[in-house]
Chains A and B, each alone.
Chain A
């Protein structure tokens, strides 16, 4: 079957850097996406890797290695508003298969 594994919780302090890992067991996907979801809200798109390597979007970067079945989301200069759940998802022809999410708590 298809599955994506993420840590359930991560805690970091304001201004720090945090990395959220995602390992997957699936094949034949277009790319790896990352979504952010604040408590009770709709998921919002953060980043997408179609190819291996690093994609940078402001304070957020995402990395994919298909040979290692692994990706990560890197958040720099953490702010309190970054406290949220973060989901990795593989894109299979538009269908997203989500991981169970990582809850990030940013402390002052």
Chain B
């Protein structure tokens, strides 16, 4: 199994541009998450999904959108990129909510200039 994969690994955007960060998992997990991590900080939840067609906001959803059309994929859309969105973005998945381990992808390093 590849686990959780993310593309691209790195990206530089200009202010106002849009992009989609891709995330896929091959573990048939129901739950998927998007986090951002600013330098020297913990991870903050942006959006999460409990299954195909169901998404909900996390702590810091402003400026982002998500969709979940399949169990495997959970893309994160940035509209009108701003310098405040410069961060490392991690996607994660888990089988259960209450106790299960979350498995993280390798991350996407995004810089907005």
Contacts and interface: CB of A to CB of B under 8 A. Distances in A.
Contact of B98 (A4, A91, A99, A101): A91
Interface residues of B, number: 26
B97 A41 contact: no
A42 B106 contact: yes
B75 interface: no
A30 B99 contact: yes
Secondary structure type dominating chain A contacts: strand
B58 interface: yes
Interface string A40-65: 01111100101000000000000000
A44 B98 CA distance: 17
B27 to A, nearest CB: 14
Interface of A: 4, 30-31, 41-45, 48, 50, 87, 89, 91, 93-101
21 contacts: A4-B42, A30-B97, A31-B98, A31-B99, A42-B106, A43-B90, A45-B101, A45-B102, A45-B103, A48-B99, A48-B101, A87-B42, A87-B43, A93-B97, A93-B98, A94-B97, A95-B33, A100-B41, A100-B42, A101-B41, A101-B42
